[in-house]
Amino acid sequence: MSDEQIKEWLMEGMEGEAYAYGYRKLTVFLRRTYGLCINKKKVYRLCKEMDILRPQRQKRDSYPKKLARNRIITGSNQLFETDIKYGYIEKTASFSSSPFWTYMTVRSLRIIWVCPVRQRMRVVRYNRHYLNGNYLEQIRFPFFVPITEEIIFRGLIYKYLCRKYGFGIATIGSALIFTMAHFFVPMLWAALFIMGCCLAYLFKTYQSIFAPLSLHILTNSINIIALSWILF
């Protein structure tokens, strides 16, 4: 494949409906649109030759600082503005099956595999007392808690660690902090660590906080519905 043909496709990706900015987004665009598997370093080199990266660096006041290189983001509200305004949510609905089923399996079987019998009984007694008639808590748990956690652990902590140490350290570090934040359930630490890794992988794969957030809300909703049905 000639460089000139690739450059034409890159311009189409930036100016067409895809509206892909940054060499990482353009690399994904080439793979999904034309089936071209190309090294992102080559895409970066071609973008520099075409001088299409410089305008992004000059428009930091009007364009989110995140761009496509996992740099900086100022304020948690821009996490959602970036997804909505620049169309990063387009591909987030088609989740990869591997992290999805890993996450759902851990969430479904964690009580059976991880929790001792006596601890499980304590958790059930506590939930029966706490959730009985508390409809506000049943709304807060599946919706507001995931939004807060994803903004903190994936939107802020993961991005900071990824910028300084790379994807591997950022995934493990954010998952550990996510686990430590749930210190009050020590019998679930192993499961929570795996969940944190899966959510970080989704965030990296789809470059959008809506991917892990959607899965987080879905799982918490299933859990609270199942718990309410079992207890009441």
What mean pLDDT do residues 163-174 have? 91
Is the pLDDT at 145 greater than 90, yes or no? no
Q: Closest Cα partner for 231 from 144, 141, 120?
A: 120
Is the pLDDT at 52 greater than 60, yes or no? yes
The pLDDT of residue 170 is 92
Quick: pLDDT tens for 80-91. 444 444 444 333
Helix ranges, the chain (H): 3-15, 23-34, 40-50, 54-58, 77-85, 97-113, 117-131, 135-139, 145-149, 159-165, 167-180, 189-206, 210-231
Q: pLDDT band at 39, cuts 50/70/90? A: confident
Q: pLDDT band at 98, cuts 50/70/90? A: low
What tokens does 186 get?
Answer: 């020590």
The pLDDT of residue 190 is 87
**Residue-range domain boundaries for the chain:** 3-63, 97-231
The pLDDT of residue 139 is 64
Is the pLDDT at 79 greater than 70, yes or no? no
Is the pLDDT at 211 greater than 50, yes or no? yes
The pLDDT of residue 176 is 92
What tokens does 40 get?
Answer: 């992102």
The pLDDT of residue 174 is 92
Instruction: Tell the burial category of 216 from Cβ atoms under 10 Å away from its Cβ (0-12, 13-18, 19+).
Output: buried
Q: pLDDT band at 99, cuts 50/70/90? A: low
Q: pLDDT band at 11, cuts 50/70/90? A: confident
What tokens does 24 get?
Answer: 């990482």
What mean pLDDT do residues 63-90 have? 42
Q: Closest Cα partner for 188 from 134, 122, 119, 141?
A: 119
What mean pLDDT do residues 12-35 have? 72
The pLDDT of residue 106 is 56
The pLDDT of residue 50 is 75
Read off φ and ψ for residue 91, nearest 5 degrees: -100, 5
